[in-house]
Amino acid sequence: MALHKENIWRRVGIGVFLALGSAILLTLSFPPYDLWPLIWVAFIPMLVAQFRVLPRRVSSLASAIAIGGWLGGYLTPIFAGSGLYMTWLPLLIAGITYLTDGGVRAFHERTGYRWFVGHGALNWVGFEMIRGFIPIMGTWGFVANTLYSQPWLIQPVSIFSIFGLGLLIMSVNYGLGLGALYLFDQRWTLDSDIPLLARHSVRNWALGVLAALVVWTGLSLALFRTPTTATVPVAALHYDAGTHPWDAVDTFSALTRRAAQAGARLIVWPEMAIEGDPQVTRTAEFRRLAAETDAYLALGYFVPVTERVWRNETTVLAPDGQFLGVYGKDHPVTFAGESSPTRGTYPVYETPWGRLGTIICYDLDFTDTARRITRNGAQLILVPSHDWPQIAAKHYAHLVFRAVENRVSLVKADGSGNDSAIIDPYGRIIALAVTPGGDRQGQVVIADTPLGTGDSLAVRLGDWVGWIALAGMVFFIIYDPVTKARARRNSASGESAE
């Protein structure tokens, strides 16, 4: 019997409410709110709305609202003022989600929901893998990032990479979501032709994903330990130099002396702290500073090439006055007009304090650059950065996963005085300064930092779980029309028999 129009609108209203609930849960899971336990159930209201409450023809409205609403709460504050494209990106993604998810409910109804958990988890992580290749995306918004403050729970990332943790989170959501659909069917029937969910299958999936979570947690606790390697006194210079950080060389020099007096022997300057290559600009001054402080200085600088292109680089200066090499930013911020013509090499420097590598700011949002540096032998990665206030509570979270993936320590020094951090090889945040809006007084973030081993499986195999998820995503894209054709044949056979 057809539903009355008022019942349809009631279903739409309830479905929208549930989808907004998922958007809110997702937003609260991420920094700066950090209610990380919510990520394990955040998608369940959306799934109930999409696969039971909303009418079939608008079922994808649930995922569009949940994902678009969450991205609105997460991304819009980050990129506000950076142009219409970034400001309206959540709305664009919501529209794309509405169109691409339009046939998902029909697929699961054709296949009796037997692929529900695998389809949902693999598709999500497969799309995260794709986003990891997009210059303006990287690992921003990865569901795993919600757990950055829980190092006891994320250690298997050193085996399965950040994509493995994402796959677990989404499997738990879809496994428990399948259970929520089964419980819904015990109480309400809004569409009489919905396939019955087999109780044993639902139970097995729910128990299976919870068992996977328990195993993951046990493995994480087994891997989580206190580093036994040598420690290095490291400092990050944290100072807001305003709109012209390269005018603050004197301030950074004073902070360098303060860091050295506190015992630091590796000192990281921020991104673009110097206008001009220190190997040819004020070179004698920097050499005197390194000799005076008896410290290795990681100097971030930029060199204009044309009006719109500049070299964004870091060099390491030894106390004896030798420049050890140059690293060019691997992932330039293209939406800000940045270019990095010297990228593509990943040098590692031998020092008495260990083997050092450098990356620059946005490089930490991608899994590949830190991995390449670690494969080249780095035990400690120095990270000059220049963030803006809206990402102060979010950006250093990515650094935690680069540390665990590669089993190395990382040191981030921010030239806008927003977020500087020192992370050990197990993802512990051992020193941190977060001052959204900038620190105009300046401070030294300093800690005895353990050297890493760089011996994780993720270093050798890379994003292997992400590639598996991407393959699964492709499988379901191909398999969907197969199920449609099979359903048409079965329907035709049934009509002929009649």
- DSSP string across 227-287: --S-EEEEEEEE-B-TT-GGG-HHHHHHHHHHHHHTT-SEEEPPTT-EES-TTTSSHHHHH
CA distance 278 to 21: 52
Confidence of residue 86 (pLDDT cuts 50, 70, 90): low
Confidence of residue 2 (pLDDT cuts 50, 70, 90): very low
pLDDT at 87 over 80: no
**Alpha carbon of 440 to those of 86, 284, 435: distances in Å?**
29, 27, 10
We find that the CATH architecture of domain 231-459 is 4-Layer Sandwich (3.60)
Confidence of residue 244 (pLDDT cuts 50, 70, 90): low
Closest to 351 in 3D by CA, of 313, 379, 314, 375 = 379
Q: What is the mean pLDDT of residues 461-488?
A: 94
CA distance 142 to 402: 13
pLDDT at 5 over 60: no
Q: What is the mean pLDDT of residues 311-332?
A: 95
Residue 335: the pLDDT is 67
Is-contact 204 178, C-beta < 8 A? no
Percent of the chain with pLDDT over 90: 75
Please give the structure tokens belonging to residue 58. Answer: 């608008």
Q: Where is average pLDDT lowest: 82-96, 434-448, 477-491?
A: 82-96
Q: Across 134-265, where does the E strand assignment appear?
A: 231-238
Residue 393: the pLDDT is 83
Residue 374: the pLDDT is 98
Residue 93: the pLDDT is 86
pLDDT at 496 over 60: no
CA distance 6 to 8: 5
Q: Where is average pLDDT lowest: 238-252, 254-268, 297-311?
A: 238-252
Closest to 147 in 3D by CA, of 36, 31, 224 = 36
pLDDT at 208 over 70: yes
Please give the structure tokens belonging to residue 462. Answer: 């890379």
User: Each residue of 380-419: pLDDT tens digit?
Assistant: 999 999 988 888 888 999 999 999 999 999 999 998 878 8
Residue at token pair 């819009």 = 76
Confidence of residue 192 (pLDDT cuts 50, 70, 90): confident
Percent of the chain with pLDDT over 70: 94
Residue 114: the pLDDT is 95
Residue 82: the pLDDT is 53
Confidence of residue 442 (pLDDT cuts 50, 70, 90): confident
pTM of the complete model: 0.93
Confidence of residue 248 (pLDDT cuts 50, 70, 90): confident
Peptide linkage before 436 cis (omega within 30 of 0): no
pLDDT at 1 over 50: no
pLDDT greater at residue 85 or residue 207 = 207
Please give the structure tokens belonging to residue 223. Answer: 């891997």
- List the Cα angle 460/461/467 in 5-degree steps: 160
